[in-house]
Every structure is written in structure tokens, then in C-alpha cells.
Amino acid sequence: MSISAIILAAGQSKRMGQPKMLLPWENTTVLGKVIETIQHAEVEDILVVTGGARSEVEKLVAQYGSPLRVVHNENFEHEEMLASIQLGLQGQKPKAQAALICLGDQPQVEEGSVRIVCEAFRKNGSSIIVPSYQMRRGHPWLIAKELWGEVLQMSPPGSMRDFLNNHKNDILYMDVNTPSILQDLDTPEDYLKFKP
């Protein structure tokens, strides 16, 4: 069962004050670390949705080779996350059976968390699989192909939170023992707090 990852990297980084995807993280960058974690979890196909700092971000993605693909959200300055997820779903290859929704500003996420979600899909075939830490849902979460059409038909002010709430009875929650699924980087304080 083929799983593709959609990495959302289209934000403007307003609260960070500089392109957060390009900030140093270990031996790479914030976005680079996310890409590496997903690759190490053996996700076959990765699509990065870009927005702000497009040329620098796309140059970074290109360093990881041809399996990675990029789609640019032309309206990233005016649209919410939903639009980037829709672009990512539209860009999926026919063989993909599910999409893993990943945050490009979440370098803390661990390979084990990604594997738990992917393996649950391969084992159970559930339509929505969400990692959970102390009863709080996080990223990356998975949506099966059968529900993509519904997401593609959504429009603001509808959000993915609304989508998940509407499907609360369909969600398979996978408990993980790390708060990293809840943590992303929005401000310089976040970056300094979590940077290894």
C-alpha cells in the first residue's frame, strides 16, 4: 500500500522573522531534517509544497535527489494550510493509496512516529490515522485516498480541523510516547527552545 508524504512548507514565517524552513538544524536545515526523517521512515514518495522563499527552499529540496517533487502554492500569502494540502493531494501519483500530512517546520518529529502511522495504515487500512500524545492529536497524520475528494471540495472557512472533527468516528489514533508530534517552530523562542 503506497504512501506518499506531503510536506507543507508554504508559510510566510511572519512570526519567525526569517524563512524558518532554511534555519540550521543539526547538519542540515529545519526542512531538511523533516525530509530526512521521512526518508528514513521509508516513505516512497515525497512532495513538498512551497511558498515563501521559494527559490531557496526548492534549491534545498533538489539536494535530496529526484524522488522528491515540488509544487508551488502561488497564493501562499493569502491562503491557509487547506490550500496547500489540496495542492499536495492534486499532485499525487496514481499509485498512492494514502497521503501523510507533514509539517515542514516540525524537525523534532521522530522516525518512529512516522513509522507507527504508516504501519498502522498498512495493517488496518483505516481512512484516517492520527498520532496522539496525552490525548492531543499531532502530525504527521494520514488520510487514505478514498477521502481525498472530500478534502479537495472544501473551501474556506473550512479547515482540516473541521474535517477531522467531522470524521471523529473514523479516526484511528496511535499513541506515541513523545510530545514532538505536537511541536512546531513558529517563533524565534520556539527555535531556540527546541534546537538540538
Cell numbers for 89: 493531494
Q: Judging by beta carbons within 10 Å of its beta carbon (0-12, 13-18, 19+), is residue 124 exposed, middle or buried? A: exposed
Phi, psi of 56 (to 5 degrees): -70, -40
Cα(180)–Cα(39) distance, rounded to whole angstroms? 18
This prediction's pTM:
0.97
Dist CA 84 CA 82 (whole Å): 5
User: Would you state the pLDDT for residue 54?
Assistant: 96
List the single range of 24-28, 74-78, 129-133 with lowest mean pLDDT: 74-78
Res 108 pLDDT > 90: yes
pLDDT, residue 79, reads 86
Asked whether the beta carbons of 47 and 8 are under 8 A apart, the reply is no
pLDDT tens-digit series, residues 127-176? 999 999 999 999 999 999 999 999 999 999 999 999 999 999 999 999 99
Measured N-to-C along each axis, helices 111-124 and 30-40 cross at an angle, to the nearest 10 degrees, of 40
Model confidence at 65: pLDDT above 90:
no
pLDDT higher than threshold 80 for residue 66: no
